[in-house]
Structure 1
Amino acid sequence: MRRLLTPVLALAFCIPSLLAGDLTLTMTSTGRGHEGKQTHLWSSKFMRINHPEGQRDTLVDFVQGVHYTIDHKKKVIQKMSWEDLEVAMEGMAEKMKNLPAFAQKLMGGSDAQVVVEEQGSETILGRKCKKWKVTMGSTVMESSNDPSLKPPMPVGSYKRFLRLQHAIGQLGPGASSMLKLGEELAKVQGIALRTHNVLPIVGDLTSVATELKEGSIPESAFALPEGYKLEDAGKKMRENLAKGR
């Protein structure tokens, strides 16, 4: 399940205020498994990241509260509902609180502090961006956000997604720290036009915006591909937790 985490990192520094129009953002990325061009599509209902080189796309349905990872190589779609994730995390937290502190630490539990710092400004694509640095233990996330760019989806559902996004694929003792990270990231305004993330195991990931378009995007652009196997990862996760796995 760990593979589900990294495709959503480019979204880590976005928060909506007023509803905006559809956006198409082209990013050039470097880092293991993320090299090449990525296209980010934003609408009032969906967000999608297309990564042709990696043959692995991400789709978020903000109406239904569902995250999809689309593997074009394997022709498999992994589905993770936010409700399933929240229930599973509650179950894990209940099990963890009955363990002694040393056991929680051995299992990867953590109360790591999340620090958010503003670090000046820079201009990208002619747009003035605020620079931010977010640190949690050995995880460091830097971004340059344009506060005038507002994601077009409703505030409530987007905040819920931000809180949960880093816990996707990270269910375990450290998931509570991922929730803290999401809550702090939700305080950063605007869409990121540059990100640089240093992540344990994953390494360095960098993305820089090369093109931005505002205008209507057809719903067909957010359709799941036909003929792919659909795996309900959220349901399986809840079932495994119920069995004590």
Structure 2
Amino acid sequence: MRRLTLVALSAILAGFSLLGGDLTITSHVTGKGRFAKEGTQVQYVDATRMRMNQEGARTDTLVDYGHEVFYTIDHTKKVVTKVTFKDMQEAMQAMEDQMAAMPEMVTRMMFGDTTEVKVEQLGADSVLGRPCRKVRVSIGKMVEELSLDPSLQFPIRDYAKAMSMMNRMPGGMGAMFKRLYQAIGQLKGVPLRTHVTGLMGMDMTTEATAVSTAPIPGSVWALPAGYKEVDGGKEMKESMKGRH
């Protein structure tokens, strides 16, 4: 489950927008906290797929929105874990049912007040010499500052549906991220720099070092040969049965 949470958070921090041509963003990640894996990150996006290669974690994420499935590629263990959106939704619903009795006080202590998202315009900025506008998005204890390039757009279609299907999480964290997706989905442009603080000790910066709008080679979407493939959906269901 920790691996799947990392997948979800990686997609969130990418700050998806709407509709555009193929896009490749190479970034450098620095910071501290559970999710901060320092190193080079490369994000590939076309109209129906997204791939995130993370050098620091030695883990890639390949998401096929058209077929509603995503893969986690662990290069250390040479394992590919496949999970359908449907399996993820069912597992998250089961977890939400189990967590329904959690006192609101506990949720507030962990995540703060997640009932409202605050969006602040911070003015002009520049990344790689590209004019950007800086925005701060706050919800509960999480604060995310984004430097958005309005001349770029991600090609993902139906942002809200795709993100809610893939990144659903239980309890207070799920409520927080759902509202965060909605706020980020309304912003125009692609974030070339993000700085996230406040979530479980996180203080992480992701800054673009190169941007390309050239067509993405078909080989990028291929799964590595010789890796063991695991049914992550089946594993999640079996894990949930053991909790009853």
On whether the aligned pair clears a TM of 0.5, the verdict is yes
CA–CA distance in structure 2, aligned partners of residues 237 and 220 of structure 1: 29
Determine the structure 2 residue equivalent to 1:25: 25
CA–CA distance in structure 1, aligned partners of residues 68 and 228 of structure 2: 20
Q: Sequence identity, in percent?
A: 36
Counterparts in 2 of 1:67 and 1:200: CA distance versus 1, 3 Å: same
For residue 64 of structure 1, the aligned residue among 61, 67, 88 is: 67
CA–CA distance in structure 2, aligned partners of residues 150 and 58 of structure 1: 20
Paired residues for 1:78-117 under 5 Å: 78-97=81-100, 99=101, 101=103, 105=107, 112-113=114-115, 114-117=117-120
Paired residues for 1:80-229 under 5 Å: 80-97=83-100, 99=101, 101=103, 105=107, 112-113=114-115, 114-154=117-157, 156=158, 158-164=159-165, 166-167=167-168, 170-172=169-171, 174-201=173-200, 203-229=202-228
Q: Is the 8 A contact 2:43 2:50 kept in 1?
A: yes
Moved more, 123-132 or 99-108: 99-108
CA–CA distance in structure 2, aligned partners of residues 109 and 138 of structure 1: 6
Moved more, 140-149 or 223-232: 223-232
Determine the structure 2 residue equivalent to 1:14: 16
CA–CA distance in structure 2, aligned partners of residues 65 and 118 of structure 1: 34
Counterparts in 2 of 1:144 and 1:107: CA distance versus 1, 3 Å: closer
CA–CA distance in structure 2, aligned partners of residues 224 and 94 of structure 1: 34
Counterparts in 2 of 1:237 and 1:215: CA distance versus 1, 3 Å: same
Q: Is the 8 A contact 1:130 1:145 kept in 2?
A: yes
What is the number of residues matched between the two proteins?
Answer: 237
Partner-residue secondary structure (3-state), 2:175: helix
CA drift at 1:23: 1.4
Q: Is the 8 A contact 1:194 1:207 kept in 2?
A: yes
CA–CA distance in structure 2, aligned partners of residues 141 and 164 of structure 1: 22
Matched, 1:76 2:79: yes
Q: Which amino acid aligns with 1:161?
A: A
Q: Is the 8 A contact 1:68 1:80 kept in 2?
A: yes
Cα deviation code 1:211-237 (max 9, x no counterpart)? 111111122111111222223323332
Q: Is the 8 A contact 1:117 1:132 kept in 2?
A: yes
CA drift at 1:30: 0.6
Q: Is the 8 A contact 2:114 2:175 kept in 1?
A: no
Counterparts in 2 of 1:122 and 1:50: CA distance versus 1, 3 Å: same
CA–CA distance in structure 2, aligned partners of residues 77 and 199 of structure 1: 31
Q: Is the 8 A contact 2:153 2:190 kept in 1?
A: yes
TM-score by length of 1: 0.82
CA drift at 1:149: 1.0
Cα deviation code 1:161-186 (max 9, x no counterpart)? 3335554xx44553233222222222
CA–CA distance in structure 1, aligned partners of residues 149 and 108 of structure 2: 40
Q: Which amino acid aligns with 2:126?
A: T
Q: Which amino acid aligns with 1:184?
A: A
| Structure 2 unmatched ranges of 5 or more | none
Please, what is the CA RMSD of the aligned residues?
Answer: 2.8
CA–CA distance in structure 2, aligned partners of residues 104 and 124 of structure 1: 39
